[in-house]
Structure 1
Amino acid sequence: MEIKDNLEATNQLLPVLKKDLLANDVSSASATVNSLAEHTAAAKKAGTDPLWKLASGLPWIGPNLAAASEVSTTANDVVTLAAKPLVGAFQSLDWKALTPVDGAVQLAPLQKAAPSVVSAANSVELSYHRLAGIDQKPLLAQISEPLNSAKDQLDELRGLLSTAADAAELVPAMMGVDGPRDYLLLIQNNAEVRASGGIPGALAVLHAENGKITLTNQDSASAMGAISPAIKVDPVQETIFSTRMGNYMQDVNMTPDFPTAASTARSIWLQRHPGQVIDGVISIDPVALSLVLKATGPITVNPALPEGASMGELPTRLTSANLVPVLLSQVYAEIQEPVLQDAYFAEVAKKVFDTVASGRTPGDKLVDSLATGVSDNRILLWSSRGNEQAILSDTKISGSISGPSVPAAGFGVYFNDGTGAKMDYYVKRTVQLIQRCHAGGYAQYTAKISLTNTAPANAAESLPAYVSGNAVFGVPIGNVATNVIAYGPSQARAEKARIDGKDVGIASYTHAERPVGIVHVQLKPGQTQTVEIDFSKVVQNGQAELRVTPTIQDTKDVILPEQKATGCTGN
């Protein structure tokens, strides 16, 4: 009862601690964590009492007493070895420290906090494995249920702390505390969709030194032209996504594997800009930029255009509300030349970064905006340095389609434009996983993808030729052609596909031991089609997770909750 009462009191205090930290109330958080420590210490004392430990060796009831002892000891370790140091680190890591001063982020507080964060992450990782190693077969429900709950909470916490520890180690170095860094910035244009987001039209170099970031050399994919000889790319991915990946900057991200796209983009840039040093590649899209504007407030743009060129009716004041439609639609109606369009994109990016560097944006709001962009796969990062990339590959920001950042039961649905234009601004999508009946001891899933072309019925007359594509690639004006690409978990199979319930051919491949199925669709204005791609032989038993190409839509409107087929048993 003493163990039970103290651990229940601990459960009630944990939400209070979370609230204190989110409110940046360090004083209250310190008091809360001290109360937590008192309760967990009392539970541990009761659970490690000599008589209790002796009784743990008894048959039947003994394993339950031993498990209770492990839970109480683990709870105390998590509080004393993780929570307390984290709250202490939080005291030195005020959000204001993350707000740029004179254009630079102050990295010293983060460096000071790093050892505590890493230590906490290690402690939680060890605690998780301690509980995971308990044999649950002889346990009563009164013990096994709280044990599973504790494991689930620690599992979630260890993932978060691992990411935080990686960030604490990586950020200072990658922001130039040990020497300057230069990163190629890809601004992905979702109006012409690519697997990782959109065509990388506008490009720039970010220079980082002692926490200060400046936007330097700028260029555009269209101005680079075709690369000859082509950059060498993984032949497996070339087979799936075409050899254009190594020929054109616009096509490096036809693969959903961002490390491949990023390293190819770096090689193309260096071929066009010999003598430069590029330490990594960062990708961001207009939706992520609009999230940043929620934190910074509006910006004013006034790009330097050649004599005689005009911005037309494009607004000079951009907000989080109008940024996306202006960049992905209106700019094409007002500016005809692709090079000038890219110049407008580059000017917007420069003004956003200048505004962030000005120091007028609260650090907590800025971090929140960037975190949302990372969560939605709109901000991706690759490092050319092997030791840093090894850490990044463990995290979602790496954009990897294989490795530790991809869950065992991971699915992916990605899109590549086949129109050769900017029609994806008008495409609305939903993606859903459906768990079907088991067969032969294996799970089976269907990826269900609906696409609607919302372009006006008179798109051929009302849309600029640059937006519609003008049928240059054989797609009727106003139509949208898309390659729908679905990845299943490792060792599974992509079996068959349907469009609106009718069987269609499926191009089937394997990439990084994951099955890949591709279906081509073409939509007239106002038309909707539903693609279903079936996966069989799914051996992973974990929770299925779905990743989807980020588009102009809010991610929560695109990815629908997983469903189970009705009438099945044993799922």
Structure 2
Amino acid sequence: MPVDNNMPHGNHFASNGPRPGSAGSSANGNRHTPAPDTTEAFMMASRSGRTAKPAPAQPVANPGAGASMGGQSSYHQQSNTYQQQERAYATATHGGSAYGTAQASSTGSAYSADGGSNPKKGKGKIIGLVVGLVILAIVAFGGTTGFFLYKDAKDLQAQAGTLISEVKSMKDYLKEGEGEQLNATAGTVAEQISSMRKTVNGPAWTIASFIPVYGNDIKLVRGMMEQADILAQDAMLPACAQLEDFKLGNLLTDGAVNIEMLKGLITTIQDVEPVVVSSIDAIDALPEPHIGKIKSLMDKVTGPMDTAKGALKQVNGILPLLPQMLGADGPRNYLITAENNSEIRACGGFIGSLGVMNVDNGKISLGDFEGTLRSSNGPKPQITITDEEMTLFQPYEPTMNFISGDAYFTPDFPKGASNVSTLWSLEHGGQHIDGVVALDPVFLQYLLQLCGGVTAADGTVVDGSNAANELLSGSYWRYPEGGDAQDAVFASVASGAFDQLLGGLGEVGFTNLFKVIKRGGDEGRLLMWMANEAEENAVVQMGFGGTLNADPTKPQAGVFVNNYSYSKLDWYLNLDAVKGEGVKNADGTVSYPMTVTLTNEMSAADAAALPAYIAAHNGTADAPTQEMLRTLLYAPAGGTITDVVTSSGSMKEATHNGLQVYYQDVRLMPGESFQVTYTVTVSAEAAEELDVRVTPTAQHARKGEIGDILADAE
């Protein structure tokens, strides 16, 4: 960690507080105290010690009261002074002579408590001399310590800058497969870190670590260097040795994952994970810093460290399963479902197109995408709809058991994915499906930022700046009747993006890829379900499961919306869910105020020229521009929803998978809003703050607020 220029240095023996009889004290015994996060706070003591005239300590009735360093510390200082004076007096009576000129204080010697005459005045001079020499020695030693501490800090800061540059070059060597350079640089980095650790373990730093308050900053720096050394020796060097023949670009070539290379990478990550996690835990346990710049640096470091720790644990849950998921033990079929946020569903959107991705021993191929899948002979008895699901998701008629587009009416993604998997198999000669992946055009836009744009069937360039706009709105305005031309745009963009990603994955870097995938999972734009139980558990642990959380210790509330106007109007939908501060209740539960607002943001100009394909097709709609939405509020496991107040109408109460649910049908004309406020109370068992899962919309893409999601990625 780079060392701060404001690292404390100076006389660590000097006190910031008043000392009886010392120079520089005010009438009330107080000194000027510099700001606690400045170097001045450390240098003050050394400066004051060099300019003040030493004076003998005065005996007090209560050594702890009003002492400069508080209580015991001051008492011990005075006791040591008495001992020094006694030794000096003894020396003088055995022939010692007085060389100094120090004067006794006006209250008399420490040995004449009654204020009477002091026998052998010369001995008092010796006492004053010895005390003065002791103080001067302390000042000199402390000042020297401060000099070395300052010099070390500057040297460490320079070394840290060099280290950052070398670590960045290591990333390039890994990417380019330059194993010899990678290992050589790793060795240099490890040596420098060891040298830095040796520096901060030197005598000056050891002494400085005993400074009240600020000593914690020294201990923190030393602890950081210790862990950095451990990480370098026990994680970085072994990992680089294992990856000497590894090149990121060779992990995926010609549309295939190199399974053997992947296994080697998995072994490396599994080997270093315990070391990394242990070091992060040790750093978390270090003292809190007090120096401003060190605190600022630690704030910047601890966040990424905790993220890395969580990511490693998540990744290590799925890493051992990756080879089999990529067809190492036999071919796999994954159903890719493209959601359309313009026709909102609880999990994200209506499934507008879908197709199968086959993976066989790492070789990846994508079949043709089809439009919305409908059962050829009506509802499928193999797909069941429970009474709870009928109440909450099927207000008009059952559709979830024969139309793929409606599978995600339920926020329980595993149930919806299993249903669409069954429907696909029944309509495709019993083709086995090993898993389902759901993604939306906003996530596709993230991916295209990563791997570059594609050209749609009609010549439109779709890239990381416009994918969501083109697929969720633009194409509907260009092809107002929908049909084959529009389907061709969707299919060509999906397959083109897939080919682009596979072809360029080795160049984009796994740091950026992980960043994009994680953001997709966090926002609910990338969801996965696996038929294999172990793989499904790993997917859920990774945060891509889209499950209804049944764990009261990790409370999660839900805010979901479904479209029943059978339209593409939800491009204009704003869905805003705001959670307030939690309040601890007497029974150990915590209550959170919630506010949910839905708004139809369609402009008057768009409303006047709206293509028929976008408009509402539900015969009960009051106008073609009217959104017909069902809002669903889910309580966390073991928790409740209370105090429900709506801006119009009233909500009904139901249950789903053991969770309390409030729901209401809402109609919104352009410019209209609906708002509901309520209280979510989590179980007393909750070990974490309430999380809120919300249906992902297209509102940020519509407003142009996505931006460059890779801007801060390494």
Q: Is 1:163 matched up with 2:314?
A: yes
Alignment partner of 1:317 out of 431, 453, 460 = 460
Alignment partner of 1:213 out of 364, 386, 406 = 364
Shift of 1:372: 1.8
Pair member with larger Rg:
2
CA distance in 1, matches of 2:670, 2:421: 37
Alignment partner of 1:227 out of 379, 396, 401 = 379
Q: Per-residue displacement from partner, 1:179-199 (whole Å, max 9, x unpaired)? A: 211111101111101122110
Hey, what does 2:537 align to over in structure 1? 390
Q: Secondary structure at 2:481's aligned position in 1?
A: coil
Alignment partner of 1:420 out of 566, 578, 598 = 566
CA distance in 2, matches of 1:535, 1:558: 32
Q: Is 1:353 matched up with 2:353?
A: no
CA distance in 2, matches of 1:492, 1:220: 40
Hey, what does 1:108 align to over in structure 2? 260
Hey, what does 1:195 align to over in structure 2? 346
**Superposition pairs for residues 532-543 of structure 1, below 5 Å?**
532-537=677-682, 539=684, 540=686, 542-543=688-689
CA distance in 2, matches of 1:93, 1:238: 53
Alignment partner of 1:531 out of 662, 669, 676 = 676
Moved more, 345-354 or 3-12: 3-12
Q: Is 1:506 matched up with 2:506?
A: no
Q: Per-residue displacement from partner, 1:80-130 (whole Å, max 9, x unpaired)? A: 4334444455655433224532x3233433221111101222334455677
CA distance in 2, matches of 1:512, 1:41: 55
**Superposition pairs for residues 18-417 of structure 1, below 5 Å?**
19-20=168-169, 34=187, 37=190, 77-88=230-241, 92-101=245-254, 103-125=255-277, 155-166=306-317, 168-224=319-375, 226-229=378-381, 231-232=383-384, 236-237=388-389, 239-242=391-394, 244-302=399-457, 315-320=458-463, 321-333=465-477, 334=479, 336=481, 338=483, 341-357=486-502, 359=503, 363-364=507-508, 368=512, 371-376=515-520, 377-402=524-549, 408-417=554-563
Shift of 1:21: 5.8
Moved more, 316-325 or 175-184: 316-325
Q: Which has the higher contact order (CA 8 A, sep 6+)?
A: 1
Q: Unpaired segments of 5 or more residues in structure 2?
A: 1-144, 202-218, 707-714
Distance change (3 Å), C-alpha of 1:10 and 1:211: farther
Shift of 1:72: 7.9
Shift of 1:278: 1.0
Q: Any conservation in 1 of the 2:250–2:506 contact (CA below 8 Å)?
A: no
Residue correspondences, number? 531
Distance change (3 Å), C-alpha of 1:513 and 1:147: farther
Q: Secondary structure at 1:256's aligned position in 2?
A: coil
Q: Secondary structure at 2:336's aligned position in 1?
A: strand
Shift of 1:248: 2.5
Shift of 1:412: 3.6
Distance change (3 Å), C-alpha of 1:436 and 1:164: closer
CA distance in 2, matches of 1:416, 1:369: 31
2:365 aligned partner, one-letter code: T
Distance change (3 Å), C-alpha of 1:108 and 1:35: same
2:494 aligned partner, one-letter code: A
Hey, what does 1:522 align to over in structure 2? 667
1:289 aligned partner, one-letter code: L
CA distance in 2, matches of 1:12, 1:477: 62
Distance change (3 Å), C-alpha of 1:348 and 1:72: closer
CA distance in 1, matches of 2:401, 2:476: 27
Q: Secondary structure at 2:614's aligned position in 1?
A: helix
Q: Secondary structure at 2:333's aligned position in 1?
A: strand
Q: Any conservation in 2 of the 1:393–1:403 contact (CA below 8 Å)?
A: no
Percent identity for Structure 1 against Structure 2: 25
CA distance in 2, matches of 1:407, 1:92: 44
Q: Unpaired segments of 5 or more residues in structure 1?
A: 49-65, 303-314, 561-571
Pairwise CA RMSD: 4.7
Question: TM-score, normalised to structure 1's length?
Answer: 0.76
Q: Any conservation in 2 of the 1:13–1:36 contact (CA below 8 Å)?
A: no
Q: Any conservation in 2 of the 1:193–1:551 contact (CA below 8 Å)?
A: yes
Question: TM-score, normalised to structure 2's length?
Answer: 0.62
Q: Any conservation in 1 of the 2:182–2:244 contact (CA below 8 Å)?
A: no
Moved more, 546-555 or 421-430: 546-555
CA distance in 2, matches of 1:521, 1:510: 20
Shift of 1:267: 1.1
Q: Secondary structure at 1:467's aligned position in 2?
A: coil
Distance change (3 Å), C-alpha of 1:41 and 1:381: same
Shift of 1:423: 0.3
Q: Is 1:552 matched up with 2:707?
A: no
2:274 aligned partner, one-letter code: N
Hey, what does 1:443 align to over in structure 2? 590
Shift of 1:437: 4.4
Q: Any conservation in 1 of the 2:626–2:668 contact (CA below 8 Å)?
A: yes
1:97 aligned partner, one-letter code: N
Q: Any conservation in 2 of the 1:183–1:280 contact (CA below 8 Å)?
A: yes
CA distance in 2, matches of 1:445, 1:375: 25
1:221 aligned partner, one-letter code: T
Alignment partner of 1:454 out of 586, 592, 601 = 601
Q: Per-residue displacement from partner, 1:406-452 (whole Å, max 9, x unpaired)? A: 98243443321132211001223333222254443543223333333
Hey, what does 1:311 align to over in structure 2? none
CA distance in 1, matches of 2:375, 2:514: 29
Q: Any conservation in 1 of the 2:456–2:462 contact (CA below 8 Å)?
A: no
Q: Any conservation in 2 of the 1:180–1:210 contact (CA below 8 Å)?
A: yes
CA distance in 2, matches of 1:475, 1:506: 21
Shift of 1:46: 12
CA distance in 2, matches of 1:529, 1:535: 19
CA distance in 1, matches of 2:532, 2:194: 44
Q: Any conservation in 1 of the 2:481–2:612 contact (CA below 8 Å)?
A: no
CA distance in 1, matches of 2:484, 2:643: 42
CA distance in 2, matches of 1:510, 1:32: 59
Distance change (3 Å), C-alpha of 1:123 and 1:200: same
Distance change (3 Å), C-alpha of 1:354 and 1:295: same
CA distance in 1, matches of 2:702, 2:471: 22
Q: Any conservation in 2 of the 1:494–1:508 contact (CA below 8 Å)?
A: no
1:215 aligned partner, one-letter code: L
CA distance in 1, matches of 2:653, 2:195: 59
Shift of 1:149: 10
Q: Secondary structure at 1:363's aligned position in 2?
A: helix
Q: Any conservation in 1 of the 2:573–2:697 contact (CA below 8 Å)?
A: no
CA distance in 2, matches of 1:486, 1:20: 50
CA distance in 2, matches of 1:14, 1:449: 48
Distance change (3 Å), C-alpha of 1:546 and 1:38: farther
Distance change (3 Å), C-alpha of 1:325 and 1:72: closer
CA distance in 1, matches of 2:158, 2:694: 41
CA distance in 1, matches of 2:671, 2:603: 7
CA distance in 1, matches of 2:481, 2:192: 68
CA distance in 2, matches of 1:498, 1:397: 32
